[in-house]
Amino acid sequence: LIGCLIAFGGMVWLWPQWQSGLLKKNAHDALEADQQAIRLILSADPKAPALAYQRMRVNQAHNALYNSLNQAMQEPGFN
């Protein structure tokens, strides 16, 4: 049990995932998905399946951004 705690602590504090490096990429992907959705909505004839697919992509991009932000905030040295 003590070994498990030491291993877990080492993974969390000594070798974090450094999600803060992915924030810029995930923010860019989320903004790009939003931009594509707006272009699709403002197009002359938006189709329902295309809108549904783009809505799913926007949600996935925003979830990835939110998750990487939450993980980055738990890492040491994140400002």
* 53: its two tokens: 């697919």
49 occurs within a structural domain: yes
The residue range of the domain holding 52 is 18-73
54 occurs within a structural domain: yes
The Cα–Cα gap between 10 and 69 comes to: 21
SS3 57: helix
Overall pTM > 0.85: no
Helix, strand, coil: what percent of the chain each, to 5? 80, 0, 20
The Cα–Cα gap between 19 and 33 comes to: 20
4 occurs within a structural domain: no
Model confidence pLDDT, tens digit, residues 2-61: 888 888 777 766 666 666 678 889 999 999 999 999 999 999 998 999 999 999 999 999
Rg (CA), the chain: 18
Number of domains the chain is built from: 1
13 occurs within a structural domain: no
